[in-house]
Structure 1
Amino acid sequence: MNQEQLTALLRTLLQFGGGIAVGHGWIDAETATAVSGALLTLLVTAWSLYARRNAGLVAAAAAVPAVKAILADPATAQAVPSAKVRPAE
């Protein structure tokens, strides 16, 4: 799942949850909008940080068919489950 798909899914789920909360009278529409925006921002930021960690970047590069081999530090090489990623010596 890429970041755009994740963002769209989260936005839809938050709108759905906010609609239920507004429909039951638990919160007003402005609060639902503010809470949804804040949660979406925090969740997408957390996903971005996770996806862009060293192992995530190396795994994404290893998934590219044109890449034949990647030399990485031993900890990163061990964290990425790909035969293309080898520890640098």
Structure 2
Amino acid sequence: MNQEQLTTLLRTLLQFGGGIAVGRGWIDADTATALTGALVTLLVTGWGLYARRNAGLVASAAAVPAVKTILADPATAQAIPSAKVQPAE
């Protein structure tokens, strides 16, 4: 799932939950909108930081069929379950 798909899913789920909360009178519509925007921003930022860590970037590169070998530091190479990722010596 890419970041755009994740953002859309989160926004839809939060809007659904916000609609229920507004319908039951727990919060007003403006609060639901503010909470949805804040939560989507925080969650997508967290996902972006996680996906762009060194091991995540190397794993993404290893998944590309045209990539034959990747030399990485030993800790990163050990963290990636791919024969394409080799420790740099």
Q: TM-score range by the shorter chain?
A: over 0.9
Q: How many residues align?
A: 89
Give the TM-score, by structure 1 length. 0.99
Name the Cα RMSD after superposition.
0.4
Q: Which runs of 4+ in 1 moved over 2 A?
A: none
Aligned twin of 2:16:
16
Match status 1:57 vs 2:71 = no
Tell me the secondary structure at the aligned position of residue 71 of structure 2.
strand
Q: Secondary structure at the match of 1:71?
A: strand
SS state at 2:22 partner = helix
Match of 2:47 in 1: 47
In structure 1, C-alpha distance between the alignment counterparts of 2:12 and 2:75, rounded to whole Å? 37
SS in 2 for 1:12: helix
TM-score, normalising length from structure 2? Answer: 0.99
Letter in 2 for 1:43: L
Distance 1:81 1:8 in 2: 30
In structure 1, stretches of 5+ residues that fail to align are none
**Cα distance between partner residues in 2 of 1:5 and 1:81:** 25
Deviations 1:42-87 (A, max 9, x none): 0000000000000000000000000000000000001111110000
What's the secondary structure of 1:64's corresponding residue? coil
SS at 2:86 equivalent: strand
**Unmatched tracts of structure 2, length 5 or more:** none
| Structure 2 partner of 1:6 | 6
SS class of match (1:30): helix
Q: Distance in 2 between matches of 1:17 and 1:44?
A: 18
